[in-house]
């Protein structure tokens, strides 16, 4: 696998695209840091993971299922009782977009 390297021109281009103003010294530091990150990623890519199944959780997790039941319905007056402003059982909120 070819080793990926970022040069100073690439660092400056990334900074420009991100609308960041960086000095030459900062560009050198960022170049070193980004190349370190890429070296670490290449190290991770060297680990054989072809026989490993993807997972979403480290432990065996089962979701608890429950019946989908509508609750607190049919009581619109109770639901909006504490709202500062209502109209026809709906909450009224201030307009925020012109």
Check if the beta carbon of residue 64 is closer than 8 Å to that of residue 71: no
Cα 47–4–31 angle (5° rounding)? 120
Stated as kind and residue range, the H or E segment containing 81 is none
Mean pLDDT of 39-45: 91
Instruction: Provide, rounded to the nearest whole percent, the portion of the chain with pLDDT above 70.
Output: 97
Residues 18-27: tens digit of each pLDDT? 999 999 999 9
CA distance 49 to 7: 30
What letter would DSSP give residue 90?
Answer: E
Domains of the chain by start residue, with CATH: 8-45 (1.10.20)
pLDDT for 2: 54
pLDDT classification of 83: cutoffs 50, 70, 90:
very high
């Amino acid at each position: 696998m070819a080793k990926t390297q970022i040069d100073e021109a690439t660092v400056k281009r990334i900074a420009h695209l991100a609308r960041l103003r960086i000095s030459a010294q900062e560009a050198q530091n960022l170049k070193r840091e980004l190349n370190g990150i890429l070296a670490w990623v290449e190290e991770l890519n060297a680990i054989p993971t072809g026989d490993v199944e993807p997972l979403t959780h480290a432990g065996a997790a089962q979701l608890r299922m429950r019946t989908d039941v509508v609750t607190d319905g049919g009581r619109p007056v109770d639901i909006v009782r504490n709202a500062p402003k209502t109209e026809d059982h709906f909450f009224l909120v201030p307009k925020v977009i012109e």
